[in-house]
Amino acid sequence: MKILIVGGGGREHALAWRLNQSPRVTDIVVAPGNPGLSGIARCVNVAADDIAGQVALAKLERPHLVIVGPEAPLVAGLADKLRAVDIPVFGPSARAAILEGSKGFSKDFMAKYEIPTAAYGRFTEAAKAKAFLDRFTAPYVLKADGLAAGKGVVIAETRAEAEAEIDAMLGGKFGAASATLVIEEFMHGEEASFFALCDGETAVALAGAQDHKRVGDGDTGPNTGGMGAYSPAPILDAAMQAQVMDKIVHPTVRGMAAEGRPYRGVLFVGLMIENGKARVVEYNVRFGDPECQVIMARLKDDPVPQLLACATGGLAGCKRMERFSDPAVSVVMAAAGYPGEPKKGGVIRGLEAANKTPGVTVFHAGTAQRGEDIVANGGRVLNVTATGPTLQEAVKRAYQAVDLIDWPDGFCRRDIAWRALARG
């Protein structure tokens, strides 16, 4: 089989790395890809959100399956355009990707199908939005309706801050994405990520993970796209996974089918778990980054039959992917300045030695090739990913590899997986 992967970060590197191990796969193309893929995939320089360019590439390459990594091309309808030319796609149509593309849609949908989530209101007028704050106490949760490059959620500590943010968002802070605003109840508890595979009718559990959003040790400092992740997540034990499938995933897939928006691809549910009950924080319509890296590292069964079934139907008849290896952890190495303006261009050495550490694979997230050198070319630059017989051992291996990487501009958190390690 030939597989085309859309995207160029650590998530797409991890997908290509795992698919390269499948006996069914002979050829992998990644667009745009990154230098870490050399030797396992052919990279073609088409941007992930260049919809016309991606369709033209797929028509030229005629892959047996396209896997779309990021959300933006899905929300923009890439999967629809590929299906229209008979190319199987792992990823939802635009009508289904609206689960991530519009917070207002997803909240109304959850209310209709009685899927547990925070109480909310949806607003286009500042005065009404401000009056709605009376229902809650601080902190206040404000969300831009549309995609805002991961920056559309604001947790305001005071009423004054919340009111100022309402004016800013409805005043066009995120352009059309914040013309509508969702205000919701602040949920307490422990966050976790759950992933299920769906073919429009059937959903099967894949795995759970937890990530670290704050830039600094001890979960301090500004929010980021994610500074590290691990899987499995102890809080998502078998009973909790069964609850999430029963109360959230199955009703979501049934509800989307009933709405005429059948959901195909991976459904990533962001959860808040308190007192044994899981509620939805948000839906995502693609793999998490860096959660994908740890899930791919753990997966022993060949994922190709299930990924293909998500695209073409028949997931119910597929053998479940049940064999997972030891725990996995991924430590993100970011460039100085991140999550603000990152320092680009610094030479990264020691990657070969790091990759030789037992159980370790270094995925590239934001690198570029400059002559013979690999240089930093983004905020989150490397995902140092390790498996081990225990989570402790996986963490030790990951940091051993981190310490072999010679990149003066790079930094990482030193406490990835602390929550799971603290449970013992």
Q: Which is nearer to ligand AMP, 168 or 336 (CB)?
A: 168
In whole angstroms, how close is the CB of 282 to ligand AMP at the nearest point? 3
In whole angstroms, how close is the CB of 281 to ligand AMP at the nearest point? 5
DSSP 148-172: -TT--EEEESSHHHHHHHHHHHHTT
In whole angstroms, how close is the CB of 223 to ligand AMP at the nearest point? 7
Structure tokens at 68: 């779309």
Q: Which is nearer to ligand AMP, 87 or 97 (CB)?
A: 97
Q: Which of 331, 378, 359, 385 is nearest to 34 (CA)?
A: 378
One-letter amino acid at 424 equals G
In whole angstroms, how close is the CB of 68 to ligand AMP at the nearest point? 19
Structure tokens at 116: 């547990």
What is the C-alpha to C-alpha distance for residues 120 and 185, in angstroms, rounded to an integer? Answer: 6
In whole angstroms, how close is the CB of 222 to ligand AMP at the nearest point? 12
Q: Which is nearer to ligand AMP, 17 or 136 (CB)?
A: 136
Q: Which is nearer to ligand AMP, 154 or 405 (CB)?
A: 154
The closest residue (CB) to ligand AMP is 282
Structure tokens at 380: 């989150």
In whole angstroms, how close is the CB of 156 to ligand AMP at the nearest point? 12
Q: Which is nearer to ligand AMP, 273 or 376 (CB)?
A: 273
- Which helix (H) or strand (E) segment holds residue 375: the answer is strand 373-376
In angstroms, the first-to-last Cα distance of the chain is 43
Map tokens 């003066």 to a residue. Answer: 408
3-state SS, one letter per residue, for 97-134: HHHHHCHHHHHHHHHHCCCCECCEEEECCHHHHHHHHH
Map tokens 């603000």 to a residue. Answer: 340
Q: Which is nearer to ligand AMP, 224 or 361 (CB)?
A: 224
Q: Which is nearer to ligand AMP, 187 or 245 (CB)?
A: 187
Q: Which is nearer to ligand AMP, 40 or 187 (CB)?
A: 187
SS3 for 82? helix
- Which helix (H) or strand (E) segment holds residue 68: the answer is strand 65-68
- Pairing type for strands 228-231 and 367-370 reads unpaired
Q: Which is nearer to ligand AMP, 138 or 242 (CB)?
A: 138
Sign of dihedral through CA atoms 315, 321, 322, 328?
negative
Asked if 334 and 379 touch (Cβ cutoff 8 Å), the reply is yes
- Pairing type for strands 190-199 and 410-411 reads unpaired
Burial of 355 (0-12, 13-18, 19+ CB in 10 A): middle
In whole angstroms, how close is the CB of 139 to ligand AMP at the nearest point? 8
In whole angstroms, how close is the CB of 246 to ligand AMP at the nearest point? 22
In whole angstroms, how close is the CB of 245 to ligand AMP at the nearest point? 20
| Neighbouring-strand partners of residue 183 | 121, 142
Interface positions with ligand AMP (CB under 6 A) = 118, 141, 153, 184-187, 191, 213, 270, 281-282
